Amino acid sequence: MIWQVNERLRMELVERRSIGDALRESESRYRLIAENSVDLIGIVNIDQCFVYVSPSFDLVLGHEPEKLVGHSAWEHVHPEDRPTILANWAQVLEQQQQNTTITYRIRSIRPDRNDRDEWFWFESQATVAGWNGQPVVVIVCRNVTERRRLEAQLLQAQKMEGIGRLAGGVAHDFNNLLVVIDGYTDLVIESLPPDSAILADLQEVQKATNRAANLTRQLLAFARRQINDPQTIKLNDLIADMSTLLRRLIREDIELIISSPPDLWPIRLDVTQAEQVIVNLVANARDAMPSGGQLVIELANVDLEHEYLQQHVAITSGPYVMLAISDTGVGMDAEVQRHVFEPFFTTKELGQGTGLGLATCYGIVKQNNGNIWVYSEPGHGTTVKIYLPRAEELVQSITHPEERDATPGGSETILLVEDEQAVRELVARVLRSYGYVVIEAATGEEAIMIANAVGMSVIDLLLTDVVMPQMGGRMLADRIIREHPTIRVLYTSGYTDTAIVTNGRLDPGMVLLQKPFTSATLVRKVREVLDA
């Protein structure tokens, strides 16, 4: 009997030891998880104070756990987010909701953050539990700062794409109007004597038309619908050529510093567009330093790796040339930076800028498969960084497009196809005034009917708009060329179209006259194509 009691006691002792070992193993396992997790883990009592804080608070945010225990769990939460937390806290306790998820910001005080507070976004889950006989809430917070930033970048990219489509469509329609305004103004000026009283008024109309044309070009650059003529160049050579211009552009109280490695890689870019980007950025930097300062243009060869790609959307890894333009000016807050590339957004006073400078830079860089980003803080200046893909081709000498002298007209027959009646009538009138025989058509289908009626061989040049309903200019040209292989073709368009343009560059063999164009440009281009 006694031995049975002893055996039972021994068995109970073994069982207790086994349970104790299991509890210690479980406790060790959970401690290992809690102390090595990058997620923030906290246990909060009903007084909303921490009773436990995981070491990750120190690792991620710089807060020592022992200094947080006993203090309010919301002490370092962003003030704007506290009402959301308190409302969620009441639901968790009163309704005993499990695993409710909210997102809020917590302050980081890490010393490697330049001793300035920084707010990180966390996705938080709260669960009601019991601890030492008291109800507590276990809170697990996951850092979602990078995810939110990438989501914001993606939304911004989508918004910019939508704005770009709208801007491109507006520019296309506006270009047709500018052709008509400028063309008929030209005709009236040519009919007036040199001493006419209204000549100066008409010249002012032309000046306004030119300014409007510049605006549409900037809109098309933003919308990535501007046709370019890329060359393989080195940016340091281009900036060296521009140095005199840049020093005139800034004031004497601004120090200009240019830094570039001697072995800078080449890039492929339209020279005019490259100059446009540099001038816009330098002018913005100048305006951000009303009391003077330092403007730094830095060039470098960089290989964009996985880390950069994780922080920026819509760019691929590989070798790039970096152009960074930095100023020591007033800087920008986060709200301004969110809108800085949008067309017509400006922080300048009324009449001091169009708000298209950075929008134009954005479109040009994106059209050339690059990336542009702004780094700025109020009172700490601004840096705009541009990354453009390295080119493998041999460097070309930098050349600028030059305007030729006007050439005489001719007597050839031109089939003019344009769906905008005002543009079609103006172009026909101008060409006829230079001696050409012009046959007009409003659509591609009508053009084919007329060509068949008069005979394909009679037509020397097909002058057609690219974007037309039903049958576009490219399809029309292909149909006519099959029957009349020697015909010359000149396209016109207010913006790039995939029918004749790939990535902003004309397909081989295509000749385009961009709208808006002047009467002189029209006649010169027609003669050039006929004589080619």
Interval 247-273: pLDDT, tens: 888 888 999 999 999 899 999 888 878
Name the pLDDT band for 437 (thresholds 50, 70, 90).
Answer: very high
What's the pLDDT at 318?
85
**How do strand 382-389 and strand 371-376 relate by DSSP bridges?**
antiparallel
Tokens of 52: 């436990």
Among the residue ranges 304-318, 479-493, 498-512, the one predicted with the least confidence is 498-512
Name the pLDDT band for 404 (thresholds 50, 70, 90).
Answer: very low
Query: What digits encode the pLDDT tens for the residues 141-184?
Result: 888 888 777 777 666 666 666 666 666 666 767 777 888 888 88
What's the pLDDT at 7?
60
Alpha carbon distances (Å) from 456 to 352, 417, 476, 483, 487 = 54, 15, 13, 7, 9
- Average pLDDT across the chain, whole number: 79
Tokens of 400: 């600028």
Name the pLDDT band for 321 (thresholds 50, 70, 90).
Answer: very high
CA gap 53, 31 in Å, rounded = 12
Average pLDDT rounded to a whole number, residues 119-132: 84
Any idea what the Cα angle at residue 394 is, between residues 390 and 399, rounded to 5°? 95
What's the pLDDT at 248?
85
Name the pLDDT band for 470 (thresholds 50, 70, 90).
Answer: confident
Contact 202, 185 (CB under 8 A): yes
- Give the pTM: 0.51
Smallest CA-to-CA distance from 277 within 339, 309, 235, 247 is with: 235
CA gap 528, 411 in Å, rounded = 14
Determine the angle formed by the axes of helices 199-222 and 357-367, rounding to 10 degrees: 50
Residue in the block written with tokens 């109020």:
378
Among the residue ranges 48-52, 131-135, 344-348, the one predicted with the least confidence is 344-348
What's the pLDDT at 205?
85
Whether 108 has a pLDDT exceeding 80, the answer reads yes
What's the pLDDT at 416?
94
Work out the number of other CB atoms within 10 angstroms of the CB of residue 18: 10
